[in-house]
Amino acid sequence: MHKCSTYSLNKLFIFTLYFFITVCCAAQNLAKGLKLEAEVSGTASSGSYAPLWLSSNKYGKVSAFDNSAYERVGVFRSIDTDSARVWKRGYGVDLMLNQHSTSIFFIQQAYIEAAYKKLTLSLGAKERSIDLKNNELTSGSLSAGLNARPIPQARIDIDYFSFPFTRGWWKWKLRGSFGFTTDGRWQRGFAANTRYTSNILYHEKALYWKFGKENATKCPLTFEIGLQMFTQFGGTAYNVNYREHTGGKQTINMPENLKAFWQAVFGGGRDVTDFTESNNSGNMLGSYNMRLAWHGNTGTENAWEVGAYFERFFEDQSMLTVQYGIQDHLIGIDATFPKNHFVSAATIEHMSTRNQSGAVYHDRTKSIPDKMNGRDNYYNHNIYSGWQHWGMAIGNPLITSPIYNENGYIHFRNNRVKAWHIGLCGDPTPELHWRLFLTFTQNWGTYNTPFKNKLKQQYYMAEIGYKPNKLKGWSGKLAFGLDHGDLIGNSFGAQLTIHKSFTLIK
């Protein structure tokens, strides 16, 4: 079996994407609803880094460094433009120039998508929402959230469809994708002769069940539960140093053949660094997600909703069951209120990643046959550079991203965290919108390299948005952030963002 070249895959992907977007823009019936969007943003802060909530959960657009700016321009056609058609089509290209960031120029989004009934096919890098949470107010998802730059991928989504004979009371949805990361060059420059990777392949799959109906007359109660899993595989790892090899730092080329793709989906195999105990090939992780919600006045101006959700993260098989308890979690309550001038929505979350199956890990040996599966070391891996993209955690930003490491080591130095997070937003007038974040964390480092003392860190943000009715297409945001503590230090900053949207073809 010949090895698939990741470099060739990248070139084929870019060529295919360029071809399809060119065709889409050239076709008159696919240009209807085309919009041009332009945006400029600047962040100034007093500390070594920008306040966390000014840079995090923004799909990697905003630099984590102290003073930065970006300019964006993009063309988009929403798939909803074809809502009356059987086949729906959308596309977008989003280009960025950055100052004091991880790259000067970046293609933030470039994608095409087509939908038929419940089925959607997409190709490219696109900013996507997270499941079962209020995306505007949540601290993020433990598995895959809003924090890092989009990963280019070929993806299939099947939206909720009714299970036979249940009359819509039991629905399913599922998705799957393959893609590749784009930060290999940045990793090489950041790593300072420590471990880094390039051309890493990516796989995602998810399955959700939904019980109940939002618009039920007597009991508008819904319960959603799902499992989503991810795999990093293939690519090349540099400067890997592992205990069973005495030849110093090694370069490891991970397999990219059909067997590797099969194992990324179904598990199995082993890494070259596995010793007496085999593990799944690649970096596998995921989470269980569930949400219970009560819906009021659905479909009206005074619609409201109250929900509770729970996310359980896992790095390996030890957390796939409740054998090691459920101490680690992200649990939250949120509410969307009927239309008013004060508070439109509220979220409160508690996150704990301190346990990680316990403090003890031990493989089976002849003298000690018992195996202990602790020290899961969330977001880290012994070959890959961890669950990050361009230095930002792909999951929750309260697990400290590698971009904050000053030693050039791409790993998560703080993944044992307890946090409370509060998010509020409101709409005093149709032109004004505000948000407020209050986040309090305690941090212990990792099991392998714990902090000498528990470190406390607080993150605050206040934001006001203005969308004037008299200036159609214009909007702006002014945000203030404050970080205080011993983890990433103290910082006060402000961020101004101005956005303009043009409809090119109605």
pLDDT, tens only, 194-231:
999 999 999 999 999 999 999 998 999 999 999 999 99
- pLDDT value at residue 3: 44
What percent of the chain shows pLDDT beyond 70? 87
Nearest to 433 by CA among 472, 482, 499, 479: 479
Where are any strands of DSSP class E within 126-263? 153-162, 170-180, 196-198, 201-211, 221-233, 236-240, 250-253
Inform me whether the pLDDT recorded for 460 exceeds 50: yes
- CA separation, residue 188 to residues 195, 198, 446 (Å): 9, 8, 24
Inform me whether the pLDDT recorded for 318 exceeds 90: no
> Looking at the domain assignment, is residue 156 inside a domain?
yes
Number of domains in the chain: 1
Q: Mean pLDDT across the stretch 447-458?
A: 96
Q: Domain range for residue 273?
A: 6-503
**Which pTM was predicted?**
0.90
Inform me whether the pLDDT recorded for 359 exceeds 90: no
* 65-99: pLDDT as tens digits: 999 999 999 999 999 999 889 999 999 999 999 99
- In the numeric block, which tokens belong to residue 306? 């109250």
CATH number of the domain enclosing 483: 2.40.160.130
> Looking at the domain assignment, is residue 18 inside a domain?
yes
Other Cβ atoms less than 10 A from the Cβ of 83: the count is 9
Nearest to 52 by CA among 164, 154, 147: 147
Q: Could you tell me the strand order of the sheet in which 196-198 lies?
A: 196-198, 236-240, 250-253
For residues 241 and 249, the answer to whether their CB atoms sit within 8 Å is yes
For residues 119 and 101, the answer to whether their CB atoms sit within 8 Å is no
- CA separation, residue 483 to residues 3, 320, 487, 493 (Å): 47, 35, 10, 9
> How far is Cα 28 from Cα 491, in angstroms, rounded to an integer?
50
> Looking at the domain assignment, is residue 1 inside a domain?
no
* 363-411: pLDDT as tens digits: 545 555 555 566 789 999 989 999 999 999 999 999 999 999 999 999 9
**Average pLDDT taken over every residue of the chain:** 90
- pLDDT value at residue 506: 83
- In the numeric block, which tokens belong to residue 180? 């590749």
Question: SS3 of 249, please?
Answer: coil
φ/ψ (deg, to 5) at 182 = -125, 15
> How far is Cα 354 from Cα 444, in angstroms, rounded to an integer?
8
- In the numeric block, which tokens belong to residue 416? 């044992």
Q: What size, in residues, is the chain?
A: 506
> Looking at the domain assignment, is residue 346 inside a domain?
yes
Inform me whether the pLDDT recorded for 27 exceeds 80: no
For residues 16 and 123, the answer to whether their CB atoms sit within 8 Å is yes
pLDDT class of 278 with cuts at 50, 70, 90: low
> Looking at the domain assignment, is residue 474 inside a domain?
yes
Inform me whether the pLDDT recorded for 293 exceeds 80: yes
Please compute, for residue 251, the number of CA atoms within 13 A of its CA located in the half-sphere on the CB side: 4
Q: State the amino acid at position 232 in one-letter form.
A: Q
Cα Dmax for the chain:
78
Inform me whether the pLDDT recorded for 166 exceeds 50: yes
- In the numeric block, which tokens belong to residue 80? 């909803």
